[in-house]
Amino acid sequence: MNDAFLSGRLALVTGASRGIGAATAEALAGAGAHVVLTARTAAGLEAVEERIHAAGGSATIAPLDLIEKDSIARLAAAVAERWQALDLLVLNAAMLGALTPVANVDGQEFNRLLTLNLLANQALIAGFDPLLRRSDQGRLIALTSSVGRRPRAYWGAYGASKAALETLVLAYGEEVKNLAPLKVAIVDPGATATKMRERAYPGEDPAGLKRPEAAAEAIVGLLRAGFETGHRLEVG
């Protein structure tokens, strides 16, 4: 069923080939948005796109590696060439990295983690800022984790990247809130049955966790209800 807010809108979701990203893309399409799906895995994106189309929705896939040089600039240019505005940007793509003591963090891996979890998201904001400002109801949602606010042993690298992402995104929201009808929110999906969660907790029974669709429904619900910049949603 088309949603009054999302119907006819353009949304872009990163990390959309599986997990929360895929579920969010499908939920947004189900509410009437045209969704641009991006991730490294073309086959995964194609499977999500097929499910969206089978359900009567609309989507476009854009396979790319967010940390590849100029990839985000190329994506932003391609979207700007086809559409006049971007109504929703969902920053979901992230890597976990090794769970290890801070003193043992591998520098090269930490660099890759920060490049994807933080620097790529800044590049996405920079690249899509003009299109977001052109929307009459622009929205930016960034996915985070509780370890970004509440440090946990062995999660220092990943937690640091999420803490920095929250600061970056909320600062952007403060910068634009008086210049454009653009609002920014943070969503913490909580314990969810994803591949990342499986890597972090290999012995955990996924049957006791919420499905990615629950996080997606919460995001769509937040968009429908409306929010002010700086809002933080923790999905129970």
pLDDT in tens, 97-138: 999 999 999 999 999 999 999 999 999 999 999 999 999 999
- Decide if pLDDT at 2 tops 80: no
Per-residue pLDDT, averaged over 88-92, amounts to: 98
Domain ranges of the chain: 10-234
- Decide if pLDDT at 221 tops 90: yes
The span from the CA of 16 to the CA of 59, in Å, is 11
Does 158 qualify as catalytic in the annotation?
Answer: yes
The span from the CA of 178 to the CA of 141, in Å, is 18
The structure tokens listed for 169 are 């995104």
Would you identify the CATH topology of the domain 10-234?
Rossmann fold (3.40.50)
Q: In the prediction, which pLDDT does 220 show?
A: 96
- Decide if pLDDT at 1 tops 70: no
List the catalytic residue out of 154, 158, 172, 201: 158
0.75 cut: is pTM over it? yes
The structure tokens listed for 47 are 């499977």
Q: Which residues pair with 231 in a beta bridge?
A: 185
54-86 residue pLDDT tens: 999 999 999 999 999 899 999 999 999 999 999
The span from the CA of 210 to the CA of 103, in Å, is 33
- Contact present, 24 and 143 (Cβ < 8 Å): no
24-37 residue pLDDT tens: 999 999 999 999 99
Q: In the prediction, which pLDDT does 5 show?
A: 78
* DSSP codes of every residue in 147-178: GGTS--TT-HHHHHHHHHHHHHHHHHHHHHTT
Q: In the prediction, which pLDDT does 39 show?
A: 96
140-197 residue pLDDT tens: 999 999 999 999 999 999 999 999 999 999 999 999 999 999 999 999 999 999 999 9
